[in-house]
Amino acid sequence: MTIGRRAFAAAAAAALLVSAVLPADAQKFPTRPIRVMLPFAAGSVSDVTLRILADKLGARLGTSVIIDNQPRAGGITAVTTTLTSPPDGYTVVVLSSSTAISVSLLKSLSYDPVADFQPVSGISTFANILATGSTSSYKTLADVFAAARAKPGTLNVGTTTVGSTNHLAATLLRSMTGLDFVIVPFRTPGELVTAALRNDVDMIIQSFGALKSSITEKQLIALASTTGARAPYAPTVPTVDEAGVKGFEVVTWNGFFVPAKTPPDVVELLNREVGAVLADPDLKQRFLGLGLEPLAGPPQALGARMKSEIGKWGRVIKDAGIEPQ
């Protein structure tokens, strides 16, 4: 055998060894761009987050990762588009805590987030912040609680739309404290912040990212965080649990999901690559700057989170008497 033939034989043997180790579907994936269906508008926190991640993930996979914003119909368009696409890993959807809420909030949901999807990897988590305007007489969460006890039914707490995570956080807070306060939903975070600055409401609950600039500029006072432990992007802000509401925790989250029949080998490859990107120090720093924490982990952990939150928010919605829409 000549040297050239020996080299060729060695290369062929190496290729066979690699193909024996790599699963069949993973060997040929990806060969074209991957589309991520995002049920939120361009410019939203989720959109900015995904674009940071997509650039780095595309570089690792050797292909483009394209963000397709589909906020129509409350994000259902993004979900149905994913479910009608081939289950091959080339169409991925971002589901979130809002998805878990929608199971109990919507009368007729055209899909089952557990049965119809295979979890791939978490993306991020972020806290909601309880805050007041800087000119408010309330400087701590204890002040707010004391006022609610002194004059039941008169204190107003602003959130965004009924059924949003921060709206249900306020609903859960009312239930766990036994306090009688009025929850006032606003259409947008901007309207909510304006109401707080004008002292039209006594307290608001909204994501840290939406309130960050107002808190930094001392227009708002951050009273507490809804996380179980203090958030690394807001280490000086105590938690609601620290304020005496033991066990209170509401964390907004999102993650990648694919249609249920997607090959396990492709899911495993995507999970591994997303996890590597989320461990990138630069990405972690950029996420923290936006008020987010990376949420890496195995698909099973993300699936368990979805199931747990479907149950949790189903109970909150039922106990609060919120009628499905």
Q: What is the mean pLDDT of the chain?
A: 91
Q: What per-residue confidence (pLDDT) applies to 57?
A: 97
Nearest to 36 by CA among 97, 108, 99, 89: 89
Structure tokens at 160: 């965004």
Residue 14, burial from CB neighbour count under 10 angstroms (0-12, 13-18, 19+):
exposed
* DSSP 8-state code for residue 233: T
User: pTM to 2 decimals?
Assistant: 0.87
Task: Concatenate the DSSP letters of all residues of 275-296 into one string.
Answer: HHHHT-HHHHHHHHHTT-EE--
Question: CB atoms < 10 A from the CB of 18, how many?
Answer: 10
Per-residue pLDDT of 62-76, as tens digits, reads 999 999 999 887 788
Q: Which of 114-118, 231-235, 263-267 has the lowest mean pLDDT?
A: 231-235
DSSP 3-state of 242: coil
Percent of the chain with pLDDT over 70: 92
Residue found by looking up tokens 């979130």 in the block: 96
- All residues at 6 or more sequence positions from 237 whose CB lies less than 8 Å from its CB, including other chains: 129, 222, 223, 224, 225, 230, 231
Residues of 270-284 as b/e, b for ≥16 C-beta within 10 angstroms? bbebbeebbebeebe
Per-residue pLDDT of 151-196, as tens digits, reads 999 999 999 999 999 999 999 999 999 999 999 999 999 999 999 9
User: Which of the four pLDDT bands, split at 50, 70 and 90, describes residue 43?
Assistant: confident
Residue ranges of domains in the chain, CATH in brackets: 25-125+251-320 (3.40.190.150), 127-225 (3.40.190.10)
Task: Concatenate the DSSP letters of all residues of 165-231 into one string.
Answer: HHHHHHHHHHHHH----EEEE-SSHHHHHHHHHTTSSSEEEEEHHHHHHHHHTTSEEEEEE-SSS--
Structure tokens at 208: 């840290």
- The answer, yes or no, to whether residue 5 has pLDDT greater than 90, is no
Q: Which ranges of 95-155 would DSSP assign to H, the alpha helix?
A: 97-105, 141-150
Per-residue pLDDT of 118-144, as tens digits, reads 999 999 999 999 999 999 999 999 999
Q: Which of 1-5, 46-50, 101-105, 242-246 has the lowest mean pLDDT?
A: 1-5
